[in-house]
Amino acid sequence: MSFVLRRLGFYLAAFFIAATINFILPRLMPGNPIDVLFAQQNTTLPPEARAALVETFGFAAGPLHEQYFAYLRSVFSGDLGYSIRFYPQTVNQVLSYALPWTIFLAGTATLLAFAVGSILGVFAAWRRGGTFDTIVTPLSLAIQAIPPVVIALVALFGFGVALRWLPTGYAFNPGLDPAWTLQYFGSVFYHGLMPVTTLMIVFVGGYLVTMRNNMIGQLGEDHVVMGTAKGLSENRVRFNYAARNAMLPSVTALGLTIGAILGGSLVTEVVFNYPGLGQTLFIGIVSRDYPLIQGQLLIMTLATLTANLVVDLVYVLLDPRLRKV
**Is residue 67 in some structural domain?**
no
Identify the pLDDT of residue 41. 60
**Is residue 186 in some structural domain?**
yes
Whether the ω angle into residue 30 lies within 30 degrees of 0, i.e. cis, is no
pLDDT at position 58 over 60: no
CATH number for the domain spanning 109: value is 1.10.3720.10
pLDDT at position 264 over 60: no
Q: What is the pLDDT of residues 266-285, one digit of tens each?
A: 788 888 888 888 888 888 88
Number of domains in the chain: 1
Tell me how crowded residue 311 is: count the other CB atoms within 10 A of its CB.
18
Q: What is the pLDDT of residues 211-238, one digit of tens each?
A: 888 887 777 666 666 767 776 676 677 7
**Is residue 295 in some structural domain?**
yes
**Is residue 25 in some structural domain?**
no
Identify the pLDDT of residue 214. 80
pLDDT at position 109 over 80: yes
**Is residue 8 in some structural domain?**
no
Burial classification of residue 117, based on how many CB atoms lie within 10 Å of its CB (0-12 exposed, 13-18 middle, 19 or more buried): buried
Burial classification of residue 171, based on how many CB atoms lie within 10 Å of its CB (0-12 exposed, 13-18 middle, 19 or more buried): buried
Q: pTM value? A: 0.76
What residue numbers bound the domain in which 186 lies? 91-324
**Is residue 16 in some structural domain?**
no
**Is residue 314 in some structural domain?**
yes
- The type of residue at 235 is N
**Is residue 265 in some structural domain?**
yes
* Percentage of residues of the chain with pLDDT beyond 90: 1
pLDDT at position 61 over 60: no
Identify the pLDDT of residue 241. 65
